[in-house]
Amino acid sequence: DVKVTQSSRYLVKRTGEKVFLECVQDMDHENMFWYRQDPGLGLRLIYFSYDVKMKEKGDIPEGYSVSREKKERFSLILESASTNQTSMYLCASSRRGSGKGEQFFGPGTRLTVL
Amino acid sequence: AQTVTQSQPEMSVQEAETVTLSCTYDTSESNYYLFWYKQPPSRQMILVIRQEAYKQQNATENRFSVNFQKAAKSFSLKISDSQLGDTAMYFCAFRSQGGSEKLVFGKGTKLTVNP
């Protein structure tokens, strides 16, 4: 079974803190994604990576950065957390060029910024 | 840019009955994938069913089936014999076959199955 894990299920941080959200997948997938999920807005793509050290902006990259130093790990960084970044963050991975096109999701991190 | 629209924010159904969730999308491409994902309360998002646009036959997975109308750009999900465990958020998603492999999601439909 594909497994995508995220470092925390719940996280509480203060405004202005630097926040790291970690995601690890164990299926040697090339592609990894970070989404933000808010009620009524669905999932919105923040950043994605199709290879080590490669990254591309998604639809809402402002206020976020990412790091992919190893193939299995994709980190989302909030340089200076703000209250409007309180949300559920989902990580996903997929095999590049897969004929099935499916992404596999982690359990999510619910981040609260006070 | 592709867009995905789910026009039903919330739906409910009685246990053992059938329910259909709607999804429409907009694209100028001819080859793509469509997905329905399920997110149970406080649990992980999982794939329910997948459809390749080049396939005319509608996909089926046990109690879940789709009605794929390519010309109308419609991709509805039918759940037969609804069970309490079907209570979840359901997201419709689109992915191009080539190029970027990112998913474009609809805003979701919250489905409640009542006993």
B97 contacts A101? CB cut-off 8 A: yes
Nearest CA in chain A to B48: A102
CA B6 to chain centre: 9
pLDDT in tens, chain A (114 residues): 669 999 999 999 999 999 999 999 999 999 999 999 998 899 999 999 999 999 999 999 999 999 999 999 999 999 999 999 999 999 999 988 766 778 999 999 999 999
Q: Measuring CA to CA, which residue among A57, A7, A1, A55 is closest to residue A30?
A: A55
Place of tokens 């925390």: A8
Q: Measuring CA to CA, which residue among B113, B102, B103, B95 is closest to residue B21?
A: B113
Percent of chain B with pLDDT over 90: 83
Assess contact for B13 and B74: CB atoms under 8 A.
Answer: no
Assess contact for B4 and B36: CB atoms under 8 A.
Answer: no
pLDDT the model gives residue A2: 63
Give the integer Cα–Cα distance in Å for A33 and A103: 9
- Residue A16 burial (C-beta neighbours within 10 Å; 0-12, 13-18, 19+): exposed
B102 contacts A102? CB cut-off 8 A: no
Residue among A33, A40, A97 minimizing CB distance to B102: A33
B9 contacts A108? CB cut-off 8 A: no
Q: Mutate one of B101, B104, B105, B110 to test the A interface: name it (highest A CB count within 10 A).
A: B101
**Which string of b and e fits B72-95 if b means at least 16 CB within 10 Å?**
ebebbbbbeebeeebbbbbbbbbb
Q: Measuring CA to CA, which residue among B80, B85, B94, B74 is closest to residue B113?
A: B85
pLDDT the model gives residue A4: 95
pLDDT the model gives residue B100: 73
